[in-house]
Amino acid sequence: MANRTLTPEELAKANELLDLIRERLETLSDGDRALLFAYRRKISKELTYDERSKPMERKRLKKLKLEEQGGLCPICSMKLPESYNVLDRLQAVDGYTPENTRLICNECDKKVQRERRYA
């Protein structure tokens, strides 16, 4: 299933919210460029965690999936390397849960991403 996208009306609302957030950040930082940078980075990081979970949670999930899968990539059946493996969400909207993810090798991830772009 492809990820949900925004309708033109929803996109307009998202852009309004973004403008509002930018205004608030400008007010909060009061002309201090370094502070604006720090606030912007903090907000950006937290929103990314809302979408992708925190790094420690993903790391824990990767370890669990590696054990569950017997150390193998479920697509090519090759032994997964120690690092650079990818947690692939079956449905992006359902997040990084054990039920919604599989740990795949980097090469298979590239193929999966390519296929999804053309789907």
Choose the binding region for Zn ion from 16-24, 51-59, 63-71, 106-114 (rule: CB under 5 A): 106-114
Tell me the site size for Zn ion, rule CB under 5 A: 5
Rule CB under 5 A: say whether 75 interacts with Zn ion.
yes
Buried-state track 35-70, b at ≥16 Cβ within 10 A, e below 16: ebeebeeeeeeeeeeeeebeeeeeeebbeebeeebe
Interaction of residue 76 with Zn ion, rule CB under 5 A: yes
Distance CA 18, CA 94 (A): 24
Return the residue of 61, 73, 86, 87 that touches Zn ion, per CB under 5 A. 73
Site residues (vs Zn ion, CB under 5 A): 73, 75-76, 105, 108
